[in-house]
Structure 1
Amino acid sequence: MTHGFRPLGEDEIDAVIALWDRAGMTRPWNQPRADIEAIRANPKSALLVACADGVPVASVVVEDGGHRAWVYYLCADPARRGEGWGSRAMAAAEDWARAHGHTKLQLLVRRSNAPVMGFYEHLGYEENAVAVLQKWLDPERERAFRENPDAH
């Protein structure tokens, strides 16, 4: 994989979950271990990591969504921010999407997260005129979502 990113190794799962926790990526309604299992079980998705001194310091998930690909769980270790890991992660995601025949890459960002919005805008991403709609199919996960103050 390019830009120093490669698929997650089996022995790195706990370290990636710890990275996601440090980076504030986890949410009560999305269990990270279950997400990783689903990503790894899907042949049309990839969890890519970059390591420093043998420890994951950045990650990105890319998933085939038909004619577009989606990005999730992009993060860099807070102690390593400013070193370009996020930009390299997006470049690796873009390479993965191109290699899988996609012409568009999409992602979700909370509108309240101005620094992250700025990061993606700097990389050439823009908000489009499409609304994202959702319907919860799991009442327990919906409850966790609704009870979390940063859910919306």
Structure 2
Amino acid sequence: MAWSIRAFDDRDTEAVIALWEEAGLTRPWNDPRRDIQRKLQVQPELFLVAVDDSDDSDGTDGITPRIVGTVMAGYDGHRGWLYYLATAVSHRGRGVARAVVTEAERLLLAMGCPKIQLMVREGNESVLAFYDSLGYERFSVSNTGKRLIVDA
């Protein structure tokens, strides 16, 4: 394994946003910087990054280590949620996504979380197949939402 998993650090911000953009996760109506800042206010230990350990940067010299994976998790007391799962194109197929999800599951279970759910955008069959391989089951539900704070 040429990568490790740790909690997000502020110095990771630009690298994480670049990864999310590369993975197609950003949307015009969600400011990724605001999403990060909001997450850091609630259960920041559940915002995980995978770091390329073959990169000699450890952050002590001001150079941020290369972020090759992320997942943002949360627990509301009833269920856990996963968001912003991303893997760098250069590291796909190496188990990074599986490892960050497994670590998020471990942390959620340690909090007493009985179940985890997530949302996958319609038509993203490869991501659904990935979650199928991890034992997640598909549900037929309708999602609704209401924006309380506009990020524009």
Q: Distance in 2 between matches of 1:58 and 1:70?
A: 17
Structure-to-structure mapping, 1:57-136, within 5 angstroms? 57-136=68-147
**Partner of 2:23 in structure 1?**
23
Normalising by structure 1, what TM-score? 0.83
- Structure with bigger helix share is 1
C-alpha deviation, 1:65, in angstroms: 2.1
What is the RMSD computed on CA atoms of the aligned residues? 1.9
Normalising by structure 2, what TM-score? 0.83
After TM superposition, which residue ranges in structure 1, 4 or more long, deviate above 6 angstroms? Answer: none
Give, as a single letter, the amino acid of the residue that structure 2 aligns with 1:128. Answer: F
Percentage of matched positions with identical amino acids: 40
**Partner of 1:34 in structure 2?**
34
Q: Distance in 2 between matches of 1:81 and 1:43?
A: 27
Give secondary structure in 2 for the equivalent of 1:5: strand
Q: Distance in 1 between matches of 2:94 and 2:85?
A: 15
**Partner of 1:150 in structure 2?**
none
C-alpha deviation, 1:4, in angstroms: 3.0
**Partner of 1:49 in structure 2?**
49
Give, as a single letter, the amino acid of the residue that structure 2 aligns with 1:77. Answer: A
Kept after mapping to 2: 8 A contact 1:60/1:75? yes
CA deviations over 1:53-110 (Å, ceiling 9, x no partner): 2211000000112221100000100121111111111101101110111010110002
CA deviations over 1:104-150 (Å, ceiling 9, x no partner): 01100023101111010111001124432223345x56xx8xxxxxx
Pick which of 44-53 and 7-16 moved more. 44-53
2:6 maps to 1:6: yes
Q: Distance in 2 between matches of 1:90 and 1:35?
A: 19
Query: Cα 1:44–1:80, aligned 2, differ >3 Å: closer, same or farther?
Result: closer
